[in-house]
Amino acid sequence: MNKGTKFYNCDFQVHTPRDINWSGNKATLDTDRNQYAERFVLACREKNVNAVAITDHHDLTFFSYIKNAAQNEVDATGTPISDGKKLVVFPGIELTLSNPPCQALLILDANFPEDQFTRVLHKLSLEPSPAEN
């Protein structure tokens, strides 16, 4: 009997090749980033993950690649995944704080305007990293 409760598998602390602690290929070219994003979305689908927050340290650059891959995902026959089954991707940042010394996650709404990311970073006294790094 369904009483309206829904359960979702989520991972709200995901790092990408943009993260300062990433070991391995940094995926600095758009083609590498797009390929990584497509593989990431497929891996989420295979693991039945419904939502993720991309929370690189002090950086929001890779979010758009993952979001675009999720929005453009197709099944094995080339049919687009229905909106209700697409991976939900939240933009986020892992912050390293000094007083008190700790880590904090800032997760924004999945529909937060990407053109406001720089403003968020400035409000946090963070300088946006060049996207090509």
pLDDT tier at 25, thresholds 50, 70, 90: confident
Instruction: Please state whether beta strands 10-14 and 88-98 pair in parallel, antiparallel, or not at all (unpaired).
Output: unpaired
Residues 61 and 28 sit within 8 Å (Cβ to Cβ): no
Among residues 44, 40, 42, 49, the alpha carbon closest in space to that of 9 is found at 49
Q: What is the DSSP letter of 83?
A: G
Amino acid at 85: K
Q: With contact defined as beta carbons under 8 Å apart, do 59 and 31 qualify?
A: no
pLDDT digits (tens, 9 = 90+) for 69-103: 999 999 989 999 999 999 999 999 999 988 899 99
